[in-house]
Structure 1
Amino acid sequence: MADPVRYWLFKSEPSAFSIDDLAASPKQTALWDGVRNYQARNFLRDDVQTGDLVFFYHSREEPLGIVGTMKVVRAGYPDPTQFNPASKYYDAKSPPDAPRWIGVDVQLMQKFPAVVTRDQLAAHPKTASMLVMKRGMRLSIQPVTRSEWLHVHQLAGVRQ
């Protein structure tokens, strides 16, 4: 029996890669690369699977919040940017025969009509305790519960 779908939140700075960049990608699909935190890498390597559903979260630029949804269309594989000396994500200590960093391919499912902001998330008991809301939580890859997934869609005013 296949594992049930899991839910995630992936953070990206819009100046580096935004939901509009994903929408403009061929087949609205792209490699989610550049993850350079070991715990986030472990999620990508060990837990994120094809078919999992993901919130796209814009970080570090106002307004902070969830801007849409994606689906994982290819599970973890070596992030090619770690081997490219011209990439800002290059890691000279990551050999091709034992890669350190993992990426996944994601495909746009839905862009929300408006950002579901941190203030909106904080105002609702079903979303106020999301990991992204915890003080000091900087992980770019975070698990989300099904209840949180459903409630964020309600806040966005869209069907999932």
Structure 2
Amino acid sequence: MPHFPVNHPARPIYRVLTGLIGVYILVFGVWGVAETIGDPLFDRGSHWALGLRTNLAFSLASVIFGVVLIIGASRRTNLGHYINLTAGVVFLATSILMMSVLQTEANFLNFSMSTVVVSMLFGLVLLGTGLYDKVGPPEHAEAELELRKHPVADSHRR
């Protein structure tokens, strides 16, 4: 079973960071929809929103992802934990996939290199916040603390 810290003291900061990423993605998506409305869904035109190239499909997906991230950041449950882990992997996988087809007709989301970089950064941040924002009862947090203070772990620190 993977080891995720429970009730990490910096969890509120991670939730704010996730919320800010969600707001950026939502604003980008809404702006992108406004720019590309009326175009074909997977158009490869030169529409830009907040410094990133987009099309209607990518903008609509961004609106959905932004709303999901904001919902996850606003909850004090493990919903945000699972959303961040999943979204981090999705952003990283999508950025690598789209980078591999950047200069081809398979670039159906109309990514540019700046979009790839931003998607990778967001993926890494979301994955990192997902690793540290797990919620649990105080007993689980105490057990995690004891696990970290185990004599075997202490012998490796010296």
| TM category, shorter | under 0.3
Larger Rg computed on CA atoms:
2
> Which structure's residues are more often strand, by fraction?
1
> Which structure's residues are more often helix, by fraction?
2
The TM-score normalised by the length of structure 2 is 0.25
The TM-score normalised by the length of structure 1 is 0.25
